Protein backbone atom coordinates (compact mmCIF):
# COMPACT_ATOMS: atom_id res chain seq x y z
CA UNK A 1 0.00 0.00 0.00
CA UNK A 2 1.36 3.41 -0.99
CA UNK A 3 0.14 6.44 0.94
CA UNK A 4 0.14 9.80 -0.78
CA UNK A 5 -1.22 13.03 0.62
CA UNK A 6 -3.05 16.02 -0.82
CA UNK A 7 -1.66 19.38 0.34
CA UNK A 8 -2.27 23.12 0.11
CA UNK A 9 0.46 24.23 -2.25
CA UNK A 10 1.97 27.68 -2.36
CA UNK A 11 2.13 28.41 -6.08
CA UNK A 12 3.13 31.29 -8.34
CA UNK A 13 0.30 33.46 -9.60
CA UNK A 14 -0.63 32.39 -13.11
CA UNK A 15 0.85 35.37 -14.96
CA UNK A 16 4.27 34.91 -13.30
CA UNK A 17 4.66 31.14 -13.11
CA UNK A 18 7.06 31.06 -16.08
CA UNK A 19 9.20 33.66 -14.31
CA UNK A 20 9.14 32.03 -10.86
CA UNK A 21 9.66 28.30 -11.50
CA UNK A 22 13.30 27.46 -12.12
CA UNK A 23 15.81 24.70 -12.51
CA UNK A 24 17.90 24.08 -9.37
CA UNK A 25 20.53 26.80 -8.95
CA UNK A 26 23.45 24.32 -9.17
CA UNK A 27 22.43 23.36 -12.72
CA UNK A 28 23.23 26.84 -14.07
CA UNK A 29 26.64 28.08 -15.16
CA UNK A 30 27.82 30.97 -12.99
CA UNK A 31 27.39 33.62 -15.66
CA UNK A 32 23.87 32.40 -16.51
CA UNK A 33 22.88 32.27 -12.85
CA UNK A 34 24.16 35.81 -12.33
CA UNK A 35 22.19 37.08 -15.34
CA UNK A 36 18.98 35.41 -14.19
CA UNK A 37 19.29 36.84 -10.70
CA UNK A 38 19.96 40.33 -12.05
CA UNK A 39 17.30 40.38 -14.77
CA UNK A 40 14.37 38.49 -13.20
CA UNK A 41 12.92 39.84 -9.92
CA UNK A 42 10.42 36.97 -9.75
CA UNK A 43 12.70 33.95 -10.11
CA UNK A 44 12.70 31.45 -7.26
CA UNK A 45 16.48 31.65 -7.50
CA UNK A 46 16.23 34.95 -5.62
CA UNK A 47 14.73 33.12 -2.65
CA UNK A 48 17.54 30.60 -2.43
CA UNK A 49 20.18 33.23 -3.24
CA UNK A 50 18.93 36.11 -1.06
CA UNK A 51 22.28 37.94 -0.98
CA UNK A 52 23.15 37.79 -4.67
CA UNK A 53 23.48 41.61 -4.86
CA UNK A 54 25.31 42.09 -1.56
CA UNK A 55 29.07 42.59 -1.23
CA UNK A 56 29.19 41.22 2.34
CA UNK A 57 27.52 37.83 2.64
CA UNK A 58 26.74 35.28 5.31
CA UNK A 59 28.49 31.92 5.34
CA UNK A 60 27.03 29.33 2.94
CA UNK A 61 24.77 26.74 4.62
CA UNK A 62 24.80 28.71 7.88
CA UNK A 63 21.82 29.39 10.15
CA UNK A 64 22.09 33.05 9.16
CA UNK A 65 21.95 32.24 5.43
CA UNK A 66 18.96 29.91 5.88
CA UNK A 67 17.20 32.62 7.88
CA UNK A 68 17.60 35.04 4.98
CA UNK A 69 16.18 32.41 2.60
CA UNK A 70 13.13 32.14 4.85
CA UNK A 71 12.75 35.94 4.93
CA UNK A 72 12.92 36.18 1.13
CA UNK A 73 10.33 33.41 0.84
CA UNK A 74 7.96 35.36 3.09
CA UNK A 75 8.63 38.46 1.01
CA UNK A 76 7.45 36.65 -2.14
CA UNK A 77 4.25 35.69 -0.30
CA UNK A 78 3.69 39.20 1.02
CA UNK A 79 4.14 40.63 -2.49
CA UNK A 80 1.55 38.23 -3.90
CA UNK A 81 4.04 36.44 -6.15
CA UNK A 82 3.25 33.18 -4.34
CA UNK A 83 -0.29 32.37 -3.23
CA UNK A 84 -1.59 29.50 -1.15
CA UNK A 85 -4.36 27.15 -2.22
CA UNK A 86 -7.31 27.28 0.17
CA UNK A 87 -7.91 23.53 0.01
CA UNK A 88 -5.65 20.49 -0.14
CA UNK A 89 -5.20 19.09 -3.64
CA UNK A 90 -3.39 16.46 -5.64
CA UNK A 91 -1.65 18.04 -8.63
CA UNK A 92 -0.99 16.51 -12.04
CA UNK A 93 2.14 17.69 -13.82
CA UNK A 94 3.28 17.05 -17.38
CA UNK A 95 6.68 17.96 -18.76
CA UNK A 96 7.25 17.58 -22.50
CA UNK A 97 10.82 17.47 -23.82
CA UNK A 98 11.86 16.55 -27.36
CA UNK A 99 8.40 15.10 -28.01
CA UNK A 100 8.49 12.88 -24.90
CA UNK A 101 5.79 13.57 -22.30
CA UNK A 102 6.51 12.87 -18.63
CA UNK A 103 3.14 12.82 -16.86
CA UNK A 104 2.70 12.15 -13.16
CA UNK A 105 1.32 13.20 -9.80
CA UNK A 106 2.63 15.82 -7.37
CA UNK A 107 1.67 14.89 -3.82
CA UNK A 108 3.06 14.27 -0.36
CA UNK A 109 5.13 11.06 0.02
CA UNK A 110 4.99 9.28 3.37
CA UNK A 111 7.98 9.65 5.73
CA UNK A 112 6.87 6.48 7.53
CA UNK A 113 6.98 4.54 4.26
CA UNK A 114 10.45 5.94 3.63
CA UNK A 115 11.57 4.68 7.05
CA UNK A 116 9.95 1.28 6.44
CA UNK A 117 11.72 0.94 3.07
CA UNK A 118 8.45 1.00 1.17
CA UNK A 119 9.99 3.97 -0.59
CA UNK A 120 13.07 2.16 -1.83
CA UNK A 121 16.56 3.57 -2.19
CA UNK A 122 19.52 2.72 -4.41
CA UNK A 123 21.96 5.48 -3.42
CA UNK A 124 23.92 6.16 -0.23
CA UNK A 125 23.58 9.60 1.32
CA UNK A 126 26.39 11.62 2.87
CA UNK A 127 25.74 12.19 6.57
CA UNK A 128 27.06 15.75 6.47
CA UNK A 129 24.94 16.70 3.46
CA UNK A 130 21.86 15.05 4.93
CA UNK A 131 22.35 17.00 8.19
CA UNK A 132 22.75 20.25 6.26
CA UNK A 133 19.49 19.69 4.33
CA UNK A 134 17.67 18.74 7.55
CA UNK A 135 18.81 21.98 9.17
CA UNK A 136 17.75 23.89 6.07
CA UNK A 137 14.23 22.41 6.15
CA UNK A 138 13.90 23.06 9.88
CA UNK A 139 14.62 26.76 9.38
CA UNK A 140 12.95 27.59 6.05
CA UNK A 141 9.93 25.33 6.61
CA UNK A 142 9.17 24.20 3.05
CA UNK A 143 9.99 21.77 0.21
CA UNK A 144 10.27 23.52 -3.15
CA UNK A 145 11.75 20.82 -5.43
CA UNK A 146 9.91 17.48 -5.55
CA UNK A 147 11.70 14.18 -5.04
CA UNK A 148 11.29 12.02 -8.16
CA UNK A 149 9.59 8.72 -7.26
CA UNK A 150 8.72 5.95 -9.72
CA UNK A 151 6.00 3.36 -9.35
CA UNK A 152 5.15 0.10 -11.14
CA UNK A 153 2.67 0.48 -13.97
CA UNK A 154 -0.92 0.67 -12.72
CA UNK A 155 -3.67 0.84 -15.35
CA UNK A 156 -6.18 2.61 -13.08
CA UNK A 157 -3.76 5.49 -12.46
CA UNK A 158 -3.10 5.75 -16.20
CA UNK A 159 -6.81 6.01 -16.98
CA UNK A 160 -7.35 8.67 -14.32
CA UNK A 161 -4.43 10.76 -15.59
CA UNK A 162 -5.66 10.52 -19.17
CA UNK A 163 -9.03 11.85 -18.01
CA UNK A 164 -7.56 14.77 -16.07
CA UNK A 165 -5.11 15.97 -18.73
CA UNK A 166 -7.91 16.14 -21.31
CA UNK A 167 -9.02 19.32 -19.53
CA UNK A 168 -7.35 22.71 -19.72
CA UNK A 169 -4.41 23.01 -17.28
CA UNK A 170 -4.02 25.69 -14.65
CA UNK A 171 -0.51 26.41 -15.94
CA UNK A 172 0.94 25.97 -19.40
CA UNK A 173 4.27 27.52 -20.32
CA UNK A 174 7.48 26.77 -22.19
CA UNK A 175 10.92 27.55 -20.84
CA UNK A 176 14.05 28.63 -22.72
CA UNK A 177 15.38 25.06 -22.73
CA UNK A 178 12.38 24.23 -24.99
CA UNK A 179 10.59 22.20 -22.34
CA UNK A 180 6.82 22.63 -21.93
CA UNK A 181 5.31 22.51 -18.45
CA UNK A 182 1.64 21.93 -17.59
CA UNK A 183 -0.07 21.67 -14.19
CA UNK A 184 -3.59 20.57 -13.32
CA UNK A 185 -5.13 21.21 -9.88
CA UNK A 186 -7.49 18.33 -9.04
CA UNK A 187 -10.73 18.84 -7.14
CA UNK A 188 -11.53 16.92 -3.95
CA UNK A 189 -13.28 14.01 -5.67
CA UNK A 190 -10.52 13.55 -8.25
CA UNK A 191 -7.79 13.95 -5.63
CA UNK A 192 -9.36 11.19 -3.53
CA UNK A 193 -9.63 8.94 -6.60
CA UNK A 194 -5.88 9.27 -7.19
CA UNK A 195 -5.10 8.67 -3.51
CA UNK A 196 -7.25 5.52 -3.59
CA UNK A 197 -5.61 4.24 -6.79
CA UNK A 198 -2.13 4.65 -5.29
CA UNK A 199 -3.09 2.41 -2.37
CA UNK A 200 -2.85 -0.55 -4.76
CA UNK A 201 0.89 -0.02 -5.23
CA UNK A 202 3.15 -2.17 -3.02
CA UNK A 203 6.12 0.24 -3.09
CA UNK A 204 7.73 3.17 -4.87
CA UNK A 205 11.36 3.83 -5.82
CA UNK A 206 13.49 6.95 -5.51
CA UNK A 207 14.65 7.86 -9.00
CA UNK A 208 16.22 11.18 -7.99
CA UNK A 209 16.39 12.97 -4.65
CA UNK A 210 17.90 10.62 -2.06
CA UNK A 211 19.30 13.44 0.09
CA UNK A 212 16.04 15.40 0.01
CA UNK A 213 14.08 12.31 1.07
CA UNK A 214 16.55 11.47 3.84
CA UNK A 215 16.53 15.04 5.17
CA UNK A 216 12.72 15.10 5.39
CA UNK A 217 12.80 11.88 7.39
CA UNK A 218 15.63 13.32 9.47
CA UNK A 219 13.60 16.44 10.21
CA UNK A 220 10.70 14.43 11.60
CA UNK A 221 13.07 12.39 13.80
CA UNK A 222 14.85 15.53 14.99
CA UNK A 223 11.65 17.28 15.97
CA UNK A 224 10.22 14.16 17.64
CA UNK A 225 13.41 13.65 19.64
CA UNK A 226 13.34 17.27 20.81
CA UNK A 227 9.68 17.08 21.82
CA UNK A 228 8.70 19.90 19.47
CA UNK A 229 5.15 20.65 18.31
CA UNK A 230 4.15 18.15 15.64
CA UNK A 231 2.82 19.47 12.34
CA UNK A 232 0.84 16.92 10.27
CA UNK A 233 2.72 17.94 7.12
CA UNK A 234 5.95 16.66 8.71
CA UNK A 235 4.63 13.16 8.01
CA UNK A 236 5.07 13.73 4.27
CA UNK A 237 7.47 15.36 1.82
CA UNK A 238 7.03 16.85 -1.64
CA UNK A 239 7.28 14.28 -4.43
CA UNK A 240 6.52 13.75 -8.10
CA UNK A 241 5.25 10.22 -8.75
CA UNK A 242 5.68 8.85 -12.26
CA UNK A 243 5.11 5.46 -13.91
CA UNK A 244 8.50 3.75 -14.18
CA UNK A 245 7.82 3.06 -17.86
CA UNK A 246 7.67 6.81 -18.54
CA UNK A 247 11.02 7.63 -16.98
CA UNK A 248 14.03 8.20 -19.18
CA UNK A 249 17.26 6.74 -17.81
CA UNK A 250 20.53 7.84 -19.39
CA UNK A 251 24.07 6.89 -18.51
CA UNK A 252 26.74 8.87 -16.72
CA UNK A 253 30.00 8.70 -18.68
CA UNK A 254 33.52 8.91 -17.28
CA UNK A 255 36.43 11.18 -18.19
CA UNK A 256 39.92 10.52 -16.77
CA UNK A 257 42.68 13.12 -16.79
CA UNK A 258 45.77 10.87 -16.87
CA UNK A 259 46.68 7.23 -17.47
CA UNK A 260 48.40 6.71 -14.11
CA UNK A 261 51.89 6.97 -15.74
CA UNK A 262 51.05 4.28 -18.29
CA UNK A 263 51.89 4.61 -21.97
CA UNK A 264 49.21 4.37 -24.65
CA UNK A 265 50.21 0.78 -25.52
CA UNK A 266 50.64 -0.32 -21.88
CA UNK A 267 47.16 0.87 -21.06
CA UNK A 268 45.60 -0.96 -24.03
CA UNK A 269 47.52 -4.08 -23.12
CA UNK A 270 46.14 -4.08 -19.56
CA UNK A 271 42.63 -3.42 -20.88
CA UNK A 272 42.84 -6.48 -23.14
CA UNK A 273 42.90 -8.73 -20.07
CA UNK A 274 39.27 -7.81 -19.33
CA UNK A 275 37.88 -6.64 -22.68
CA UNK A 276 37.82 -7.61 -26.32
CA UNK A 277 39.00 -4.42 -28.00
CA UNK A 278 38.04 -3.26 -31.48
CA UNK A 279 39.19 -0.04 -33.15
CA UNK A 280 36.41 2.23 -34.43
CA UNK A 281 36.47 4.69 -37.29
CA UNK A 282 34.42 7.34 -35.48
CA UNK A 283 32.77 8.25 -32.18
CA UNK A 284 29.81 6.14 -31.19
CA UNK A 285 27.81 5.00 -28.19
CA UNK A 286 27.62 1.33 -27.12
CA UNK A 287 24.80 -0.78 -28.56
CA UNK A 288 24.05 -3.07 -25.63
CA UNK A 289 24.79 -3.95 -22.02
CA UNK A 290 28.38 -5.03 -21.21
CA UNK A 291 29.70 -3.07 -24.16
CA UNK A 292 31.45 0.29 -23.70
CA UNK A 293 33.11 2.69 -26.07
CA UNK A 294 36.32 4.50 -25.27
CA UNK A 295 38.03 7.58 -26.62
CA UNK A 296 41.77 7.29 -25.95
CA UNK A 297 43.83 10.30 -26.97
CA UNK A 298 41.40 11.05 -29.80
CA UNK A 299 40.98 7.48 -31.10
CA UNK A 300 37.81 5.46 -30.53
CA UNK A 301 37.54 1.83 -29.46
CA UNK A 302 34.77 -0.64 -28.70
CA UNK A 303 35.21 -2.58 -25.44
CA UNK A 304 33.28 -5.81 -24.95
CA UNK A 305 33.41 -7.31 -21.47
CA UNK A 306 34.97 -10.75 -21.21
CA UNK A 307 32.80 -13.25 -19.26
CA UNK A 308 35.10 -13.49 -16.24
CA UNK A 309 34.51 -9.84 -15.22
CA UNK A 310 30.69 -10.14 -15.26
CA UNK A 311 28.79 -11.49 -12.24
CA UNK A 312 25.16 -11.68 -13.36
CA UNK A 313 24.11 -13.17 -10.01
CA UNK A 314 24.96 -9.96 -8.11
CA UNK A 315 22.68 -6.87 -8.46
CA UNK A 316 25.61 -4.42 -8.34
CA UNK A 317 28.56 -6.37 -9.73
CA UNK A 318 26.70 -6.96 -13.02
CA UNK A 319 26.33 -3.21 -13.65
CA UNK A 320 28.60 -1.77 -16.33
CA UNK A 321 29.49 1.21 -14.12
CA UNK A 322 30.73 -1.16 -11.41
CA UNK A 323 32.52 -3.41 -13.93
CA UNK A 324 34.41 -0.39 -15.26
CA UNK A 325 35.36 0.65 -11.73
CA UNK A 326 36.56 -2.77 -10.62
CA UNK A 327 38.29 -3.72 -13.88
CA UNK A 328 39.77 -0.40 -15.04
CA UNK A 329 39.37 2.68 -12.86
CA UNK A 330 40.60 1.12 -9.63
CA UNK A 331 43.25 -1.48 -10.64
CA UNK A 332 44.67 0.20 -13.76
CA UNK A 333 44.12 3.93 -13.34
CA UNK A 334 44.49 4.00 -9.55
CA UNK A 335 41.23 5.81 -8.85
CA UNK A 336 40.39 4.77 -5.29
CA UNK A 337 37.28 6.85 -4.57
CA UNK A 338 34.92 7.98 -7.34
CA UNK A 339 33.44 10.68 -5.10
CA UNK A 340 36.70 12.42 -4.20
CA UNK A 341 39.42 11.52 -6.73
CA UNK A 342 40.36 14.57 -8.82
CA UNK A 343 41.52 12.39 -11.71
CA UNK A 344 37.95 11.60 -12.79
CA UNK A 345 34.92 13.61 -13.90
CA UNK A 346 31.41 12.54 -14.85
CA UNK A 347 29.38 13.66 -17.85
CA UNK A 348 25.65 13.06 -18.23
CA UNK A 349 24.47 11.00 -21.17
CA UNK A 350 22.26 13.97 -22.09
CA UNK A 351 25.41 15.63 -23.43
CA UNK A 352 26.19 14.77 -27.06
CA UNK A 353 28.95 12.34 -27.96
CA UNK A 354 30.55 15.14 -30.00
CA UNK A 355 30.74 17.37 -26.94
CA UNK A 356 32.17 14.48 -24.92
CA UNK A 357 34.84 13.88 -27.56
CA UNK A 358 35.70 17.57 -27.72
CA UNK A 359 36.61 17.59 -24.02
CA UNK A 360 39.28 14.96 -24.71
CA UNK A 361 40.57 16.69 -27.85
CA UNK A 362 41.17 19.88 -25.84
CA UNK A 363 43.80 17.95 -23.85
CA UNK A 364 42.39 18.11 -20.34
CA UNK A 365 41.52 14.40 -20.37
CA UNK A 366 43.46 11.40 -21.68
CA UNK A 367 40.63 8.89 -21.89
CA UNK A 368 36.85 8.80 -21.77
CA UNK A 369 34.46 5.88 -21.31
CA UNK A 370 30.89 5.87 -22.65
CA UNK A 371 28.54 3.40 -20.94
CA UNK A 372 25.29 1.74 -21.90
CA UNK A 373 22.42 3.06 -19.71
CA UNK A 374 21.26 0.98 -16.75
CA UNK A 375 17.67 -0.26 -16.96
CA UNK A 376 14.88 0.44 -14.49
CA UNK A 377 14.81 -3.27 -13.69
CA UNK A 378 18.48 -3.09 -12.68
CA UNK A 379 17.84 -0.05 -10.49
CA UNK A 380 14.90 -1.80 -8.81
CA UNK A 381 16.88 -5.00 -8.27
CA UNK A 382 19.58 -3.06 -6.44
CA UNK A 383 16.97 -1.26 -4.32
CA UNK A 384 15.00 -4.46 -3.59
CA UNK A 385 18.19 -6.07 -2.24
CA UNK A 386 18.90 -2.94 -0.16
CA UNK A 387 22.17 -2.39 -2.00
CA UNK A 388 23.79 0.75 -3.38
CA UNK A 389 24.56 1.58 -7.00
CA UNK A 390 27.98 2.99 -7.89
CA UNK A 391 28.25 6.79 -7.74
CA UNK A 392 26.93 8.56 -10.86
CA UNK A 393 25.29 5.47 -12.35
CA UNK A 394 22.19 7.08 -13.80
CA UNK A 395 21.01 10.39 -15.21
CA UNK A 396 17.23 10.33 -14.82
CA UNK A 397 14.70 12.53 -16.59
CA UNK A 398 12.48 14.44 -16.09
CA UNK A 399 14.47 17.04 -14.21
CA UNK A 400 11.97 18.95 -12.10
CA UNK A 401 11.58 22.67 -11.45
CA UNK A 402 11.76 24.39 -8.08
CA UNK A 403 9.00 26.73 -6.96
CA UNK A 404 6.11 25.32 -9.02
CA UNK A 405 4.26 23.72 -6.09
CA UNK A 406 5.75 24.50 -2.68
CA UNK A 407 5.04 22.20 0.28
CA UNK A 408 4.64 23.93 3.65
CA UNK A 409 6.17 21.64 6.29
CA UNK A 410 4.90 23.66 9.26
CA UNK A 411 1.20 23.06 8.73
| H helix or E strand, kind and range, residue 376 | helix 376-384
**Residue 149 or 298, more confident:** 149
- Quick check: 208 pLDDT over 90? yes
What average pLDDT score do residues 115-123 get? 96
| Distance between first and last Cα of the chain | 25
pLDDT tens, 162-173? 999 999 999 999
> Which ranges constitute the DSSP H helices of 307-375?
320-324, 353-361
Q: What is the CA radius of gyration of the chain?
A: 23
More confident residue, 44 or 126: 44
The pairing of beta strand 204-208 with beta strand 82-84:
unpaired
Q: How confident is the model at residue 152 (pLDDT cuts 50, 70, 90)?
A: very high
Tens-digit pLDDT profile for residues 306-322: 999 999 999 999 999 99
pLDDT for residue 118: 97
Kindly indicate the confidence band of residue 370, based on its pLDDT and cuts at 50, 70 and 90: very high
Q: What average pLDDT does the segment 97-123 reach?
A: 96
pLDDT digits (tens, 9 = 90+) for 231-258: 999 999 999 999 999 999 999 999 999 9
> Does the pLDDT value for residue 353 go beyond 90?
yes
Entry pTM: 0.94
Q: Average the pLDDT over 290-317 and give the result.
A: 96
Q: What is the dihedral of CA 147, 148, 150, 156, to 10 degrees?
A: 90
Q: Give the pLDDT score at 297.
A: 85
- Residues 111-137 have a mean pLDDT of 94
For the chain, domains (ranges, CATH) are 4-248+398-408 (no CATH), 249-395 (3.30.1760.10)
Around Cβ 105, how many Cβ atoms within 10 Å? Answer: 27
pLDDT digits (tens, 9 = 90+) for 24-77: 888 888 899 999 999 999 999 999 999 998 888 999 999 999 999 999 999 999
Q: Collect all residues with Cβ–Cβ distance below 8 Å to 73 and sequence separation of at least 6.
A: 47, 82, 140, 142
126 pLDDT tier (thresholds 50, 70, 90) = confident
pLDDT at 408: 97
- pLDDT at position 117 over 90: yes
Mean confidence (pLDDT) of the chain? 95
Q: Is the pLDDT of residue 124 over 90?
A: no
Q: Which are the contacts of 246, defined by CB distance < 8 A and separation ≥ 6?
A: 101, 102, 103, 104
Amino acid sequence: MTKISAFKALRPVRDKVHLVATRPYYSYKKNVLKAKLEDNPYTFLRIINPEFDKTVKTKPNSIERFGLVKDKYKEFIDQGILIKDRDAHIYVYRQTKDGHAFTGVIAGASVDEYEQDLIKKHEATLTSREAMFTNYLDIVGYNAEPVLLSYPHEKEIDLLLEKYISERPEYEFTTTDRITHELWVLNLIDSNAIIKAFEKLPATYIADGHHRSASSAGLKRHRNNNGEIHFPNEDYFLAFFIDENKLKILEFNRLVKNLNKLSFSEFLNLLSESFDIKALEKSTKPNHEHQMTMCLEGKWYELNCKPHIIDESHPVKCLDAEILTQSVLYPILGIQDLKTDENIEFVSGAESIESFEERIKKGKFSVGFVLYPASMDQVKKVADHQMIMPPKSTWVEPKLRSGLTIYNINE
